Structure 1
Amino acid sequence: MNIIFTRTYNLREQEVKFVQGVAGIYFIFLTDVVIEYPFKASQLIYIGMSESKQNSIAMRLRGHLTGQSGNLGISNYAKAHKVRFTYYSADVLRNYGNDNVFDMESFFLSDFLEHHGSFPICNGQAGHQFSGAGAQIAAKVDWSFFQQAWKASRR
């Protein structure tokens, strides 16, 4: 199965509201700047997760916007550039063979590292390692979306 990205939102309060109460994995990217990673360039700057509806994707994104998350890279990029996000809910991600959101985040980070030569610039580290309790993820990520994100943002 392929994981593709289609719908994107501006990283601002009006659109962050759409993911209130949603748990899952989110992806933050720039639309006007390309990051030159060691193996391949990308506009993706962060892969994050929300493990519960109480600490939803919206709550996490708000924390990144305000700097309260402690990740000043994201808030500074948001001040200086057009930043967007996309996401996959935990409910949808279960279809890929693992229902552990921590494992899914690890899967996406590891796959990005393998294809681009480093973690996204605002992640800085791998985070959680696979628990081993759940099934491996049976999917291929289409990272090319984040090489052409600026085109999608102009539609």
Structure 2
Amino acid sequence: MHKLACLLALVALVAPLSAKDSLGVYSDWAAFSDGDAQNCYAIAKATNRDLGVAYATIATWPARNVRNQIHIKLSREAPASGRVRLRVGRAGFNLVAEGRSAWAEDRQMDAAIVAALRSANSMQVRVRGYTDRYNLSGVATAMDAAVIGCSRRG
């Protein structure tokens, strides 16, 4: 129940003015749809307790022909010249970053990250001076729920 409360609080923080419909909570991850925005996403909060709030989302926007797009909200701002490194299991990716946001370079990288997420247990986002950590328990089911949730809306 504590995980559910944390995830719901996180969603309220992410976009308080948007209507949210829960598509399910799956261990450390949850899936939601955004009312009229016609997007769905899987989301989890970083397990860090000593840093700021950080979360990862994997979003689907059918109207934009976007499926499983990665977005990371970092716990702290990335240095302008800093590198953001995502490690999912044994796979590593260099992300594009601006401020507290980081994302994949292109759709191919999004697809590679999603494939890695399906077979790994943990994820780390490293920025000079700190690391945001995520448990991946439930991520595959939450991503699938988001894709299915948006496919039923159109």
TM-score (norm. length: structure 1)? 0.31
More contact order relative to length (CA 8 Å, sep ≥ 6): 1
Task: Choose between structure 1 and 2: higher strand proportion.
Answer: 2
Task: Choose between structure 1 and 2: higher helix proportion.
Answer: 1
